[in-house]
Structure 1
């Protein structure tokens, strides 16, 4: 497309996958010669991350619930629209979506709603009007959400899109030297089969279930299996995770790394990755990074994961026995592991950051064309 000005509305407090999706999209657009501004909540992780990425975020109280704050918010939004003159406004959260819709007539921009939240939107009449008549395009980040928009919200097929996101394949790729260095760092032998879970410490991420699954394997005689937990305290404290490890008798088999600077090298050190989430994963950033590093991945069947992996690599969320079985297969069935690795590599080939950008630009082109015709 020709030069575009976009506003990415990323009013997310924590730097989660939804926030990453919006900020990464702004970064890619800017790098491609377009101009994107990020609107975020002041004093939040997302705002600070946007600043560190050089995105010059604009602070607005977009999640305000007090009606007395609405006039000031609408004034600030109007000023930004007049000064920046966006071609597209992309809302990555629902708060303030109505306000951006109200200002479309003044700004003349196309309005896009990207839904990366795990919660399915309500199919009430006002919400259906917002998504089917006010929005010029609706983007879902997985097929479950796409089906919901189509079947329950009745969003027309010609304005409904699925974009899973993308991964920087120049940064995330298999690193043989890094693999050797990381395995040496954590005392991992060549014969050890190393499983890794990348994600903040939070109940949703399934660290406890993963520890329990590996405990079953160890107790059945698999003494060469190891688990790296690439995570750190958030909603769940590291001390609680350490208690789970002790309770399972897995102190010799599980290592907590904390934050690591060399993520690609750490992922390359794995023999298999696991996404054990109990819910969520509507945008699976960690899964894409593991797959991009050439590692086979097994997962629970939540969110976007069925869009990424073959059915044989998926298990029900929270099913420790099924998770143990699929990890056992990954560790002992070399043919299946090689086939899974090939399937992951083939899938990630269409999920690079260039794909993410180009798919989004195609949506923006359609939305702008639709806006001009209306």
Structure 2
């Protein structure tokens, strides 16, 4: 089947990186291309490097209706048999364009939905009504966690239209050589023996990275090893976080948007995730695959499995005090890499991608598709 994935943007966020990972592991019987409404960032570059076609639609704002006929023409001209949307804006425009183009197999993945909040933004009655109107234009909404599925039900999406399919992780991609740690630290200007607290994610209010800056400031003021903060990601809160770190005297490295997350995780001693609004917790699983101890607040992926699935991931309230105390305990122990816990294997990307391929088969007729990009057939 020839499938077009429509996504709002391709900056290095969790949903965008998950889309790239899924496409790399989807069985060959489905040929996929990607259309991005706006912001073709580092994930677009990575997709093209892997041989996937990425179509840029140059949308200039949420109400740029000119993108709709452009997307409709793209779907018609390239004769896609299915359209799969990702993120709110792409769900609105992508499902409507697919219907206008005559495509019957239309589905969407809901990556980030909470009661009253979608993708970190308030979702009032107007947003919810628009969301539900667009949802009816498709056949299925894929929920990445039980929490998302429950919220969809609360919003009024019938259960038979929701398919639960969690995110996946390629554990092998995080098993980087031990020597990588020293090399990455040298490039970032981090001392080899400094206790480095890491975090990965979009720099937006919902991630609560300001809690982490405060916690590291308190930790650095205590007797003990040199302590640094490594924050991987980009977003509107960057300037405020940099200013907060400077005022508090925190030695922090802000990397901006990066596509070498496995190598950056190798430079950390612990990953901290104080967000209270996660719908899955992909970064937590990535850190566990990299062998890091993890301090986290919200992670539905682990909550669904129980404590034995990831003993090195400790759940904390999202307060600076709680993170300071937990980090202080980890700082006293020698750094070491841990084996991936059962949770990492449970969310194996090959299994998740195979289930998505089966879903495509059920929703639409299987047909001969163009060959997969040569870069991925090795």
Question: Which TM-score band applies after superposition, normalised by the shorter structure?
Answer: 0.7 to 0.9
Q: Secondary structure at the match of 2:197?
A: strand
1:114 aligns with 2:118: no
State whether residues 3 and 80 of structure 2, in contact with CA within 8 Å, keep that contact through their aligned partners in structure 1. yes
The answer for the alignment partner of 1:367 in structure 2 is 363
Question: C-alpha separation between the residues in 2 aligned to 1:297 and 1:266?
Answer: 15
Match of 1:351 among 347, 351, 365: 347
TM-score (norm 1): 0.75
Question: C-alpha separation between the residues in 2 aligned to 1:92 and 1:262?
Answer: 22
List per-residue Cα deviations over 1:108-165 (Å, max 9, x = no partner).
x31111111343477867754653x5432211123221111234324224x4223332
Q: How does 1:198-347 map to 2 (within 5 A)?
A: 198-221=200-223, 223-224=224-225, 226-231=227-232, 234-237=235-238, 240-251=240-251, 254-256=252-254, 263-277=261-275, 279=277, 281-282=278-279, 284-301=281-298, 306-307=303-304, 310=307, 313-317=314-318, 319-331=319-331, 345-347=341-343
CA RMSD of aligned residues (A): 3.9
Decide whether aligned partners of structure 1 residues 181 and 38 sit closer, same or farther in structure 2, where only a CA change above 3 A counts: closer
Decide whether aligned partners of structure 1 residues 309 and 217 sit closer, same or farther in structure 2, where only a CA change above 3 A counts: farther
Match of 1:56 among 49, 53, 58: 53
The answer for the alignment partner of 1:372 in structure 2 is none
State whether residues 117 and 282 of structure 1, in contact with CA within 8 Å, keep that contact through their aligned partners in structure 2. yes
State whether residues 197 and 228 of structure 2, in contact with CA within 8 Å, keep that contact through their aligned partners in structure 1. yes
Of 359-368 and 324-333, deviating more is 324-333
Decide whether aligned partners of structure 1 residues 225 and 304 sit closer, same or farther in structure 2, where only a CA change above 3 A counts: farther
Decide whether aligned partners of structure 1 residues 57 and 364 sit closer, same or farther in structure 2, where only a CA change above 3 A counts: same
TM-score (norm 2): 0.74
Which structure 1 residue ranges, 5 or more long, are not aligned?
Answer: 370-374
Q: How does 1:9-48 map to 2 (within 5 A)?
A: 9-12=6-9, 14-29=11-26, 32=28, 34-41=30-37, 44-45=40-41, 48=44
State whether residues 175 and 293 of structure 1, in contact with CA within 8 Å, keep that contact through their aligned partners in structure 2. no
Decide whether aligned partners of structure 1 residues 241 and 308 sit closer, same or farther in structure 2, where only a CA change above 3 A counts: farther
List per-residue Cα deviations over 1:60-114 (Å, max 9, x = no partner).
36766366x48xx34x44544444333321111322145146337x33x311111
Count residues in correspondence: 346
Decide whether aligned partners of structure 1 residues 365 and 248 sit closer, same or farther in structure 2, where only a CA change above 3 A counts: same
1:187 aligns with 2:191: yes
State whether residues 35 and 54 of structure 2, in contact with CA within 8 Å, keep that contact through their aligned partners in structure 1. yes
1:176 Cα deviation from its structure 2 partner: 1.8
Decide whether aligned partners of structure 1 residues 232 and 368 sit closer, same or farther in structure 2, where only a CA change above 3 A counts: closer
State whether residues 218 and 324 of structure 2, in contact with CA within 8 Å, keep that contact through their aligned partners in structure 1. yes
Question: C-alpha separation between the residues in 1 aligned to 2:129 and 2:260?
Answer: 48
Which structure 2 residue ranges, 5 or more long, are not aligned?
Answer: 366-378
State whether residues 234 and 257 of structure 2, in contact with CA within 8 Å, keep that contact through their aligned partners in structure 1. no
Of 19-28 and 41-50, deviating more is 41-50
Decide whether aligned partners of structure 1 residues 226 and 77 sit closer, same or farther in structure 2, where only a CA change above 3 A counts: same
Bigger relative contact order (CA 8 A; separation at least 6): 2
